[in-house]
Every structure is written in C-alpha cells, then in structure tokens.
Chains A and B, each alone.
Chain A
Amino acid sequence: MSDELELLLARSPCLVRLPPDWSDFFEKTGLVQGVMAERRQFPRINLRSRAVLQYRQTFPSLPRPAFTYTVYTKDISRSGLAFLHGEQLYPSEQMIIILPDGKPRRIEIVRCRRIGPSCFEIGARFAGSVDPAPEEADPAPKETPT
C-alpha cells in the first residue's frame, strides 16, 4: 500500500462497526465458496483490507457531497467487489473506490444488505477506469453524518 493511500485512509473516517461475531473478518483469505459462488461468472477471492470510497453525486434527489470514507473490502473478482460501509448505498449509484493497489476505479452499486447497526455489505460492479487525483474529494467530516 502506497504512502499516498495510507495518508488518504488516515484522513477518511470509517463508519463501519463490525458485528461482534465478525471479529475474524480480516483473517479470511482464498476463494469464496458457496452456492452464490457457483453462479458467478468469475471466481471471487477474499480481499480483506481497507479501501477509500469517494462519493459522487448520482441521483438528483439524493445529495452526495464528494466526501471520502474508509471502507472494508470483503471480496473481489474481475467484474466487481463487495465491501462493508457504515451507511446504506443504493442501486445504480456511481462512486470511486481506491483499492490497496492505489488504483482508483469507478464502481456502480448493485446491491446493499444490512449486516448490523452501521454495517452494510455493498455489492458493486466495476464500471470503467477513472483518473482523478485523490485529493479532488474531501475527507468526510470527523463527526458521523446523520
């Protein structure tokens, strides 16, 4: 992980509260198994790390200030990824995620599932590359947004 990304992570608040029974969240590695895994087009690999999510304005009726947040990546494949965030995100929302390799990627939210208070599992597909400077977006305020 680059120093630049580490700096961005440090500046971007993390809203995620892992449920108590997910204390081993960051230990999982390898291929994702299970019924859903068999249906996927591409294999999914556990990628338990931190990433930076940059909000983008998508819907006219939902204001999204261009803040950044630290999220927990869960798994990844060639077509998309899953990650944990402390807020609900909505299908078709467009955002940018900066993964541990430091490369920003455009994503489109596909699904959202509540795991617990301030813990949502977000499924997203990759929607093309992007070349913003990470400092274009502001880190979110330190107070937890309502």
Chain B
Amino acid sequence: MSGQGIIEGKTAPSGLVAIAIETLLPRDALDFDLYLWPSADSPPVLYREANYPLEEADLDRLLSQGVNTLYIPAAKCRSYQQYLRKVVLRNSRLRPTQRFMLLKKANRAVFESAFRSGVPGRMMEFAEEFGRQLWEVVCDREMVLTHLFAVMDHDYLTYTHLTNVCTYSVALAHWLGIRRPGDIEAIAAGALLHDYGKRHVPPAILNKRDRLTPSEREIIRQHVVAGFTAFCSQENIQWGQLMMLYQHHERLNGRGYPVGLTGEEIHPWAKICAIADVFDALTSARPYRPPDPLEDVLEYLQQRAGNDFDPEMVRCWVAKICPTN
C-alpha cells in the first residue's frame, strides 16, 4: 500500500484529516464526507457526500490522476477507524502481519490529528478503536509474534513507539492468558496512551543526545503525572489504563518513579506496559544510536527480571518472541 494519508510538505486544512484512498473500497457507503485538496493554494472541495458510495471507476480515476489522499472531517475519525477495522479485517487475502501493517499505516494520520488536538477525549476515542483493531489482528490464531517483530517499524517517532508498545502489550497480555472480555482492548488503548504526558516535555529535552541534567530528568519524569492528570477525570477510562500511564516507570525493587512502588503495589497492566516500553526503546533506532540486537535486549530483560520487571512476564515474553531462546 502506498501513501500513509500524509502529504509530504503539506499540512491538512483545519478540521480535516488525511486518509489514504487505498483504504476505501468501492460501493461501500461511508458515513462521512470526502474532500479533495488539490493544492496548498486552494481550499479543500467536497468530493463525495456521506452515504454516496464511491464506484470502482471513481477510485481508479483518482489514482490515475495521482491523487492518493482524500480528507475527512476530524470529527469523523472514529467512524473512519471503525470502517478500517471492517475493511482490513474482512480482507481474507491479507495475512495477519499484512493487516497489521495496513492498519498502522492507515491510522497514522488519524492518530496525528487526535494527538495534536490536545483533547484527551479525542485521544481516548482513537485509542479505544485502535485497540480493538490491534486486538483482532494480534490475537489472530495465525499470528506469529516473531513474524510481527520482523515487520515492525523501528524508528523512534512518537506514533511508531506508541503503536509498537501497544502491539507488544496486547501480545504479552494475550500470551499471559488475559481473557476477560474487553481487557485486551483496554490494555491496548492504555498502552497507546502511556506516553501522552510527553506532549508537555520540550522536544529539546526529549531528543537530547547528551546526558540529561537532574532538572531535565525531573521534567521528563513528570510526564507520567501529566498523562495521569490529563485522563483521570474521563468517564470512559478504566483504572488499569490510568495505571499504565502513571506506573509504567515503576520497578519491582522500588527504584522506579513517580512513587517508588514495589512488587504487588504496581498494577499488572502497568507491569506489562513497562516491559513493552523498554523492549521497544532498546530495539528502536535513535538519532544517536542504532537499535540493540534482539538477543541483547532479551538478555537485558532477563537480567532484570525480579528486580525491575515481573519475572513471569519476562519469561513469557522471551519465550514467545524468541522461541529458540
């Protein structure tokens, strides 16, 4: 699939979000308007009203004219996500890893819009729907976790990191045997939100290559409090999800932050997120260093099992992501 719903060098018009044409199927009635935005110098124009299906000829014509992107109202992002879930998961020709990659690419623009809006409710809506999508893909019985890791993005951009942690958390939760209806999707959504508080950390500190000063370290540490306080009043968030935001830097031996909790004081969902977060951080490329080899990262986790990370969870993760280990 080409294009990710983001036009290089262009910012979507206010109130609209870019989507990739390849994610639209002919003869599907969509409950959102579609807009064309021919050039940065002109305003967007209504291309197709809601509930008027596109025909195959329409899609072919757009693609032949070099149009890969249409725009939808930001308020309709959730509808688009729900449509994506139907379209992608309905496509039996795709393997689970292909569905995963497609869902990630298709959701990128929607995520950017929700994240940048600064409205926790919008981010929560996105996270819930994305969580459902991911759960269905990752928990597909044909899904092999080692194959999934091979197709993950390993840059350290925000969207990549959050969706990676989301994916790893869902996989780990599934393999730990979490089966209560709704829990896996809730864990997925919580993982997607876990670093929301970093929105308030100056990029110069977040991306700093040199050693952080104590005050810079303290600023970064506040992101867990910022994320918690952004969502704590939401009606539709579970306590376990809030703890993923708040406790994912806590460690079993009490040397984590923000509280310094130990062992059983840390919520199990936060423990899952902690492993997924560290795993992605070490397997991703940063501007100042390449990713660590997978076997080194797994050894790192195993060495810290019991002190930093839940030992049973680490054992499960290592066994699943590297079955020969």
Contact = CB atoms under 8 A, between A and B. Distances in A.
A and B together in one complex: yes
Given A61-B239, A62-B239, A92 B259 contact: no
Nearest to B240: A61
Interface string B211-245: 00000000000000100110011110111001000
Interface string B258-286: 11111001000000000000000000000
A61 B259 contact: no
Given A60-B237, A61-B238, A114-B265, 8 more contacts: A62-B242, A88-B259, A88-B261, A91-B229, A92-B228, A92-B229, A114-B254, A114-B259
Q: How large is the interface on B (under 10, 10 to 19, 20 to 34, 35 or more residues)?
A: 10 to 19
A114 B233 contact: no
Given A60-B233, A112-B259, A120-B259, A91 B225 contact: yes
B97 to A, nearest CB: 34
Q: Is the interface of B mostly helix, strand, loop or mixed?
A: loop
Interface residues of A, number: 14
Contacts of A61: 232, 237-239, 242
A7 to B, nearest CB: 33
Given A61-B239, A61-B242, A91-B225, A114 B232 contact: no
Contacts of A78: none
B87 to A, nearest CB: 33
Given A61-B242, A90-B228, A90-B246, A113 B259 contact: yes
Instruction: Find the residue from B233, B237, B259, B262 having the highest chain A CB count within 10 A.
Output: B259
B243 to A, nearest CB: 10
